[in-house]
A and B are shown apart, each in its own frame.
Chain A
């Protein structure tokens, strides 16, 4: 049986990985140059406890079901994850009432450990919090994760277990015959399958429409500031303000890599490809974050970015078979808590697939040789964090490329970059290297390591240095070799001269 999954974000890759436990052929199709290139790389990186969404919503259910599975999942996939707990911070009695409601909602959802904290308890947990904070809902099961590393971990594991990933491949249309989706048309040819799973994120409505299923995604932009690790200790838990109808608000949280992250705001926009940051948006994020942590340092921001929530008008997830055509599952509207819900969504889709299989007299058995664990790639900064730097000596003795530090700010060696290029889903761009190794994500933002990473990519992918890109397609780093522009102009002038 052949299954195509459209979209290699955290949802698509989670589905591919769970399906790869079965004896099916999986083709994961992604239009960008790497997995996790859409919303999955630009979000808060939070594993929500699950008290926020109402129980009778699909997103509430998926979030709650997924939360406990992250420890084992991240251990297996080798993804950084920490259950640092979260606080929703209130400033008065009105807020307290709402916090109690959220607590009750959470308890109804089956969440354990929820507590209402008072001022001294809050200040003990968070010394830098706004002194006016009066009450907080504490959720110990909330966590922080690297969302793109989770996506890459899922994707690598799926490939290890037989799935195929096609990058730079855009679905232009569905192949439909006899009211059944038979495959996809892409910019790289046709691919046939017995079941197509639409996990195309921001464009899942567009894909669904190809089968006549009407959805409208209204992208909602959220902007973020990431601070230098030197500020990473400003807060310990993920801090939320009081939530609104449409947004959990502007947060202040540590990242699993030790940075400090603030954001997101929430602004509806029209353009699904507009990932730009705005000065108003970034100001808004700063203002909002300062309400929680007034001592936020003005300088110290090492990067700002924005992500788009793929929101449906009813604000819930949609995970269902197509109403119009057979052999299509649409997954639409996966906004927050999408990342937190990935495991349960993947499980649900696997169940749906089994349903479909039964109905259509297919056979899919479980793989006996499924390998659930990803290998641990050596990272120098891990050894540093664990105070085991001497042990890195053995790694260098096996391969001297691990003895050459390329990214000075994040302490990443040449060997680690080459590992990223050689992973099951290979890193082929500067950004893909960044996501797998952290190289170029530090203080100097590739000022030092940029030329070195470019040279490594060129050597190992055996491509011209001029072809190396930041994030695929036309995002080349270099224009020409030295003197080529001058020589080209001399050519031009001589041609004109001849005329």
Chain B
């Protein structure tokens, strides 16, 4: 039997919720002080996901970087690999908020979208 301690991020209390697992089945959850805590802990144990904010290098833009994010949370385990894919990417200006800059990152079904407008650089 394994005990997994998960800190709930639902509110500032940060309750420490313990998810007990036996044979890949959750057998007990305790330590939460509200329903959010229980649900959060179960989800976080089963499939922890995160929104990944980052930047992508821009070609011919008014700024060298465009801030981006995953349009939806992706598995926590894929964050570093996702950063690798992002690092290898370059996009060309102009860019609008919401533009899909990397489609379906690492086969998650989630796109990486721009979060800022980046105009083309001024011709000197």
- Do chains A and B make direct contact within the complex (CB under 8 angstroms)? yes
Binding site for B on A (CB under 8 A): 482-483, 486-487, 490
A445 vs B90: C-alpha distance when bound (angstroms): 34
Q: In the complex, how many angstroms separate the beta carbon of B78 from the nearest chain A beta carbon?
A: 15
One of B64, B65, B88 near A487 (C-beta < 8 A): B88
Chain B residues with Cβ below 8 Å from A486 are 83-84, 87
Chain B residues with Cβ below 8 Å from A487 are 87-88
Q: Are the C-beta atoms of B84 and A482 separated by less than 8 Å?
A: no
- B57 in the interface, Cβ–Cβ < 8 Å? yes
Chain B residues with Cβ below 8 Å from A482 are 55, 57, 64-65
Chain B residues with Cβ below 8 Å from A490 are 84, 87-88
A482 vs B54: C-alpha distance when bound (angstroms): 11
Besides A482-B57, A490-B87, 13 more A-B contacts (Cβ < 8 Å) are A482-B55, A482-B64, A482-B65, A483-B57, A483-B86, A483-B87, A486-B83, A486-B84, A486-B87, A487-B87, A487-B88, A490-B84, A490-B88
Q: How many A-B residue pairs have CB under 8 A?
A: 15
A490 vs B65: C-alpha distance when bound (angstroms): 21
Q: Which 10 A-B pairs have the closest CB atoms?
A: A486-B87, A483-B87, A487-B87, A490-B84, A486-B83, A482-B65, A483-B57, A486-B84, A482-B57, A482-B55
Chain A residues with Cβ below 8 Å from B88 are 487, 490
Q: In the complex, how many angstroms separate the beta carbon of A41 from the nearest chain B beta carbon?
A: 35
Interface of B is mostly: mixed
Q: In the complex, how many angstroms separate the beta carbon of B101 from the nearest chain A beta carbon?
A: 14
Q: In the complex, how many angstroms separate the beta carbon of A466 from the nearest chain B beta carbon?
A: 14
Chain B 81-100 near chain A by CB (<8 Å), digits 1 or 0: 00110111000000000000
Q: In the complex, how many angstroms separate the beta carbon of A490 from the nearest chain B beta carbon?
A: 6
A-B contact pairs, 15 of them (CB 8 A): A482-B55, A482-B57, A482-B64, A482-B65, A483-B57, A483-B86, A483-B87, A486-B83, A486-B84, A486-B87, A487-B87, A487-B88, A490-B84, A490-B87, A490-B88
Interface of A is mostly: helix
Q: Please, how many residues of chain B have a CB less than 8 angstroms from a CB on the other chain? A: 9
A290 vs B92: C-alpha distance when bound (angstroms): 60
Residue of B nearest to A484 (CB): B87
A482 vs B68: C-alpha distance when bound (angstroms): 14
Residue of B nearest to A487 (CB): B87
B window 44-67: CB within 8 A of A: 55, 57, 64-65
Residue of B nearest to A488 (CB): B87
Chain A residues with Cβ below 8 Å from B64 are 482
Chain A residues with Cβ below 8 Å from B84 are 486, 490
A483 vs B84: C-alpha distance when bound (angstroms): 9
A486 vs B55: C-alpha distance when bound (angstroms): 13
Q: In the complex, how many angstroms separate the beta carbon of B28 from the nearest chain A beta carbon?
A: 40
A85 vs B91: C-alpha distance when bound (angstroms): 63
A430 vs B49: C-alpha distance when bound (angstroms): 43
Q: In the complex, how many angstroms separate the beta carbon of B76 from the nearest chain A beta carbon?
A: 18
Q: In the complex, how many angstroms separate the beta carbon of B112 from the nearest chain A beta carbon?
A: 14
Among A483, A486, A487, A490, chain B packs the most CB atoms within 10 A around the CB of A483
Chain B residues with Cβ below 8 Å from A483 are 57, 86-87
Q: In the complex, how many angstroms separate the beta carbon of A265 from the nearest chain B beta carbon?
A: 46
A483 vs B55: C-alpha distance when bound (angstroms): 9
Residue of B nearest to A485 (CB): B87
Q: In the complex, how many angstroms separate the beta carbon of B114 from the nearest chain A beta carbon?
A: 16
Residue of A nearest to B55 (CB): A482
Residue of B nearest to A483 (CB): B87
Q: In the complex, how many angstroms separate the beta carbon of A403 from the nearest chain B beta carbon?
A: 18
A357 vs B64: C-alpha distance when bound (angstroms): 60
Q: In the complex, how many angstroms separate the beta carbon of B84 from the nearest chain A beta carbon?
A: 6
Q: In the complex, how many angstroms separate the beta carbon of A394 from the nearest chain B beta carbon?
A: 27
A482 vs B58: C-alpha distance when bound (angstroms): 11
Q: In the complex, how many angstroms separate the beta carbon of B24 from the nearest chain A beta carbon?
A: 31
Q: In the complex, how many angstroms separate the beta carbon of B63 from the nearest chain A beta carbon?
A: 11
Q: In the complex, how many angstroms separate the beta carbon of A481 from the nearest chain B beta carbon?
A: 9
A487 vs B87: C-alpha distance when bound (angstroms): 7
Q: In the complex, how many angstroms separate the beta carbon of A478 from the nearest chain B beta carbon?
A: 13
Chain A residues with Cβ below 8 Å from B57 are 482-483
Chain A residues with Cβ below 8 Å from B83 are 486
Q: In the complex, how many angstroms separate the beta carbon of B110 from the nearest chain A beta carbon?
A: 20
A483 vs B89: C-alpha distance when bound (angstroms): 10
Among B83, B86, B87, chain A packs the most CB atoms within 10 A around the CB of B87
A42 vs B39: C-alpha distance when bound (angstroms): 61
A432 vs B115: C-alpha distance when bound (angstroms): 38
Residue of B nearest to A489 (CB): B84
A439 vs B20: C-alpha distance when bound (angstroms): 58
A486 vs B87: C-alpha distance when bound (angstroms): 7
Q: In the complex, how many angstroms separate the beta carbon of B81 from the nearest chain A beta carbon?
A: 10
Q: In the complex, how many angstroms separate the beta carbon of A315 from the nearest chain B beta carbon?
A: 56
Residue of A nearest to B90 (CB): A483
A482 vs B86: C-alpha distance when bound (angstroms): 11
Q: In the complex, how many angstroms separate the beta carbon of B7 from the nearest chain A beta carbon?
A: 28
A482 vs B89: C-alpha distance when bound (angstroms): 12
